[in-house]
Amino acid sequence: MQNKRINIAVDGYSSCGKSTIAKGLAKELGYTYIDSGAMYRAVALFAIREGWITDNNMEESAITEHLSQIRITFKPDLFGVQETFLNGENVEKEIRTLEVANGASRVSTLAAVRTEMVRQQQEMGLNKGVVMDGRDIGTVVFPDAEMKLFLTCSPDIRAKRRYDEMVSKGESPQYEDVLANVKERDLRDTTRDASPLRQADDAIVLDNSEIGIDEQLQWALNMFNKITGNNEQN
Protein backbone atom coordinates (compact mmCIF):
# COMPACT_ATOMS: atom_id res chain seq x y z
CA MET A 1 0.00 0.00 0.00
CA GLN A 2 1.38 3.43 -0.91
CA ASN A 3 1.58 5.76 2.07
CA LYS A 4 0.01 9.17 1.81
CA ARG A 5 2.87 11.68 1.40
CA ILE A 6 3.35 13.98 4.35
CA ASN A 7 5.90 16.48 5.61
CA ILE A 8 8.01 15.50 8.61
CA ALA A 9 9.53 18.12 10.92
CA VAL A 10 12.53 17.16 13.06
CA ASP A 11 13.53 19.81 15.59
CA GLY A 12 15.79 19.84 18.60
CA TYR A 13 19.05 21.04 20.11
CA SER A 14 22.29 21.19 18.13
CA SER A 15 24.19 17.92 17.66
CA CYS A 16 21.24 15.85 18.87
CA GLY A 17 21.29 13.50 15.92
CA LYS A 18 18.47 15.29 14.09
CA SER A 19 20.11 14.81 10.72
CA THR A 20 20.76 11.11 11.36
CA ILE A 21 17.11 10.37 12.04
CA ALA A 22 15.88 12.76 9.33
CA LYS A 23 18.19 11.28 6.68
CA GLY A 24 17.26 7.75 7.77
CA LEU A 25 13.56 8.50 7.48
CA ALA A 26 14.00 10.17 4.08
CA LYS A 27 15.96 7.17 2.78
CA GLU A 28 13.45 4.59 4.03
CA LEU A 29 10.45 6.53 2.77
CA GLY A 30 11.89 7.83 -0.51
CA TYR A 31 11.42 11.40 0.74
CA THR A 32 13.63 14.46 0.21
CA TYR A 33 15.86 15.37 3.14
CA ILE A 34 16.46 19.07 3.75
CA ASP A 35 19.00 20.32 6.26
CA SER A 36 17.66 23.76 7.19
CA GLY A 37 20.68 24.43 9.43
CA ALA A 38 22.90 24.17 6.34
CA MET A 39 21.02 27.16 4.92
CA TYR A 40 21.86 29.33 7.95
CA ARG A 41 25.43 28.04 7.77
CA ALA A 42 25.66 29.04 4.08
CA VAL A 43 24.43 32.56 4.90
CA ALA A 44 27.06 32.72 7.66
CA LEU A 45 29.81 31.55 5.31
CA PHE A 46 28.83 34.23 2.80
CA ALA A 47 28.96 36.88 5.57
CA ILE A 48 32.27 35.61 6.98
CA ARG A 49 33.86 35.74 3.54
CA GLU A 50 32.63 39.30 3.07
CA GLY A 51 34.08 40.25 6.47
CA TRP A 52 30.66 41.00 7.96
CA ILE A 53 31.10 38.55 10.81
CA THR A 54 34.21 38.73 12.96
CA ASP A 55 34.89 37.46 16.48
CA ASN A 56 33.21 40.38 18.15
CA ASN A 57 31.14 42.04 15.46
CA MET A 58 28.29 41.28 13.07
CA GLU A 59 27.27 43.83 10.44
CA GLU A 60 23.56 43.12 10.50
CA SER A 61 22.49 45.64 7.87
CA ALA A 62 25.12 44.45 5.35
CA ILE A 63 23.87 40.88 5.76
CA THR A 64 20.17 41.67 5.48
CA GLU A 65 20.70 44.04 2.53
CA HIS A 66 22.52 41.36 0.54
CA LEU A 67 20.16 38.47 1.26
CA SER A 68 18.85 38.52 -2.30
CA GLN A 69 22.40 37.73 -3.51
CA ILE A 70 22.51 34.51 -1.51
CA ARG A 71 21.11 31.51 -3.33
CA ILE A 72 21.15 28.20 -1.49
CA THR A 73 20.44 24.91 -3.21
CA PHE A 74 20.89 21.22 -2.46
CA LYS A 75 22.10 18.49 -4.78
CA PRO A 76 22.79 14.81 -4.01
CA ASP A 77 26.36 13.56 -4.50
CA LEU A 78 27.20 10.28 -6.28
CA PHE A 79 26.04 8.32 -3.22
CA GLY A 80 22.78 10.20 -2.91
CA VAL A 81 23.99 12.29 0.05
CA GLN A 82 22.60 15.82 -0.06
CA GLU A 83 25.24 18.57 -0.44
CA THR A 84 24.84 22.30 0.08
CA PHE A 85 25.59 24.85 -2.64
CA LEU A 86 26.06 28.58 -2.13
CA ASN A 87 25.51 30.49 -5.36
CA GLY A 88 26.39 27.34 -7.29
CA GLU A 89 29.55 26.54 -5.29
CA ASN A 90 29.69 23.31 -3.29
CA VAL A 91 30.29 24.50 0.28
CA GLU A 92 29.27 21.31 2.08
CA LYS A 93 32.67 20.85 3.75
CA GLU A 94 33.33 24.50 4.52
CA ILE A 95 30.03 25.07 6.34
CA ARG A 96 30.76 22.30 8.89
CA THR A 97 33.56 24.13 10.76
CA LEU A 98 33.11 25.52 14.29
CA GLU A 99 33.65 29.05 12.97
CA VAL A 100 30.75 28.73 10.54
CA ALA A 101 28.59 26.97 13.17
CA ASN A 102 29.07 29.97 15.43
CA GLY A 103 28.34 32.38 12.59
CA ALA A 104 25.19 30.44 11.74
CA SER A 105 24.02 30.65 15.31
CA ARG A 106 24.49 34.41 15.11
CA VAL A 107 22.93 35.10 11.68
CA SER A 108 19.98 32.92 12.63
CA THR A 109 19.05 35.51 15.27
CA LEU A 110 18.32 38.07 12.52
CA ALA A 111 14.61 38.29 11.72
CA ALA A 112 15.19 39.21 8.05
CA VAL A 113 17.43 36.19 7.55
CA ARG A 114 14.85 33.91 9.15
CA THR A 115 12.03 35.31 7.04
CA GLU A 116 13.95 34.62 3.83
CA MET A 117 15.08 31.12 4.87
CA VAL A 118 11.57 30.17 6.01
CA ARG A 119 10.14 31.38 2.69
CA GLN A 120 12.57 29.17 0.76
CA GLN A 121 11.96 26.20 3.08
CA GLN A 122 8.18 26.45 2.76
CA GLU A 123 8.56 26.46 -1.02
CA MET A 124 10.60 23.24 -0.80
CA GLY A 125 7.79 21.56 1.14
CA LEU A 126 4.91 22.53 -1.11
CA ASN A 127 4.64 19.12 -2.77
CA LYS A 128 5.04 17.20 0.52
CA GLY A 129 7.35 14.21 0.87
CA VAL A 130 9.96 16.29 2.72
CA VAL A 131 11.84 15.51 5.93
CA MET A 132 13.33 18.77 7.21
CA ASP A 133 15.41 19.17 10.32
CA GLY A 134 16.13 22.36 12.23
CA ARG A 135 14.91 24.41 15.17
CA ASP A 136 11.63 25.97 14.01
CA ILE A 137 10.35 23.46 11.47
CA GLY A 138 7.39 22.18 13.52
CA THR A 139 6.58 25.61 14.93
CA VAL A 140 7.13 28.05 12.03
CA VAL A 141 8.16 26.44 8.73
CA PHE A 142 5.64 23.58 8.65
CA PRO A 143 3.21 24.23 11.53
CA ASP A 144 0.82 21.84 9.76
CA ALA A 145 3.35 19.02 9.35
CA GLU A 146 1.61 15.71 9.93
CA MET A 147 4.56 14.33 11.88
CA LYS A 148 6.73 16.36 14.25
CA LEU A 149 9.64 15.02 16.24
CA PHE A 150 11.53 16.95 18.91
CA LEU A 151 14.91 15.49 19.87
CA THR A 152 16.74 16.07 23.11
CA CYS A 153 20.02 14.70 24.44
CA SER A 154 22.43 15.67 27.24
CA PRO A 155 25.04 18.36 26.31
CA ASP A 156 27.95 16.06 27.25
CA ILE A 157 26.82 13.28 24.96
CA ARG A 158 26.15 15.75 22.15
CA ALA A 159 29.61 17.29 22.51
CA LYS A 160 31.20 13.84 22.52
CA ARG A 161 29.33 12.85 19.35
CA ARG A 162 30.30 16.06 17.55
CA TYR A 163 33.90 15.71 18.75
CA ASP A 164 34.11 12.15 17.37
CA GLU A 165 32.58 13.27 14.08
CA MET A 166 35.15 16.07 13.70
CA VAL A 167 38.05 13.75 14.57
CA SER A 168 36.80 11.22 12.02
CA LYS A 169 37.00 13.99 9.42
CA GLY A 170 40.65 14.62 10.23
CA GLU A 171 40.12 17.72 12.41
CA SER A 172 41.81 18.15 15.82
CA PRO A 173 39.30 19.91 18.06
CA GLN A 174 39.57 20.32 21.84
CA TYR A 175 36.69 18.56 23.61
CA GLU A 176 36.21 21.55 25.97
CA ASP A 177 35.79 23.88 22.97
CA VAL A 178 33.20 21.60 21.41
CA LEU A 179 31.25 21.34 24.69
CA ALA A 180 31.38 25.10 25.21
CA ASN A 181 30.16 25.58 21.63
CA VAL A 182 27.22 23.21 22.19
CA LYS A 183 26.18 25.07 25.36
CA GLU A 184 26.65 28.49 23.81
CA ARG A 185 24.50 27.56 20.84
CA ASP A 186 21.80 26.04 23.09
CA LEU A 187 21.60 29.31 24.96
CA ARG A 188 21.45 31.42 21.82
CA ASP A 189 18.98 29.09 20.07
CA THR A 190 16.56 29.10 23.00
CA THR A 191 16.78 32.75 24.03
CA ARG A 192 16.79 34.63 20.71
CA ASP A 193 13.79 36.85 19.99
CA ALA A 194 13.14 35.56 16.47
CA SER A 195 11.62 32.05 16.53
CA PRO A 196 13.52 30.64 19.52
CA LEU A 197 13.93 26.89 19.66
CA ARG A 198 10.90 25.40 21.37
CA GLN A 199 8.95 22.22 21.15
CA ALA A 200 5.73 22.40 19.12
CA ASP A 201 2.71 21.50 21.23
CA ASP A 202 1.95 18.56 18.95
CA ALA A 203 5.53 17.29 18.64
CA ILE A 204 6.57 13.86 19.88
CA VAL A 205 9.63 14.10 22.13
CA LEU A 206 12.53 11.66 21.88
CA ASP A 207 15.48 11.79 24.29
CA ASN A 208 18.11 9.78 22.46
CA SER A 209 20.91 10.00 25.04
CA GLU A 210 20.69 6.26 25.60
CA ILE A 211 19.19 5.04 22.32
CA GLY A 212 21.07 3.65 19.35
CA ILE A 213 20.63 4.90 15.79
CA ASP A 214 18.81 1.82 14.47
CA GLU A 215 16.41 1.67 17.40
CA GLN A 216 15.66 5.36 17.02
CA LEU A 217 14.94 5.03 13.31
CA GLN A 218 12.69 2.03 13.85
CA TRP A 219 10.78 3.97 16.50
CA ALA A 220 10.31 6.89 14.07
CA LEU A 221 9.20 4.58 11.24
CA ASN A 222 6.60 3.01 13.53
CA MET A 223 5.41 6.49 14.38
CA PHE A 224 5.19 7.33 10.67
CA ASN A 225 3.14 4.19 10.00
CA LYS A 226 0.76 5.04 12.80
CA ILE A 227 0.31 8.61 11.59
CA THR A 228 -0.22 7.67 7.95
CA GLY A 229 -2.46 4.74 8.87
CA ASN A 230 -0.13 2.19 7.28
CA ASN A 231 0.26 -0.75 9.63
CA GLU A 232 1.30 -3.26 6.99
CA GLN A 233 5.04 -2.67 7.32
CA ASN A 234 7.20 -4.21 10.04
Contacts with ligand DC, residue ranges (CB under 6 A): 14, 36-37, 40-41, 101, 104-105, 108, 134-137, 185, 189
Residue closer to ligand DC, measured from CB, 23 or 135: 135
Provide the angle, in degrees to the nearest 10, between the axes of the packed helices 111-124 and 36-50: 140
Residue closer to ligand DC, measured from CB, 82 or 225: 82
Minimum CB–partner distance for residue 233 and ligand DC (Å): 29
Residue closer to ligand DC, measured from CB, 41 or 148: 41
- Rounded Cα distance between 84 and 42, Å, is 8
Minimum CB–partner distance for residue 180 and ligand DC (Å): 14
Residue closer to ligand DC, measured from CB, 6 or 107: 107
Residue closer to ligand DC, measured from CB, 23 or 185: 185
Minimum CB–partner distance for residue 170 and ligand DC (Å): 20
| Other CB atoms within 10 Å distance of the CB of residue 154 | 15
Radius of gyration of the chain (CA): 17
139 touches 195 (CB < 8 A): yes
Alpha-carbon distance values, 200 to 22, 104, 147, 221, 227 (Å): 17, 22, 11, 20, 17
Q: Say if strands 82-86 and 89-90 run parallel, antiparallel, or are unpaired.
A: antiparallel
- Rounded Cα distance between 175 and 180, Å, is 9
Minimum CB–partner distance for residue 184 and ligand DC (Å): 9
Minimum CB–partner distance for residue 225 and ligand DC (Å): 26
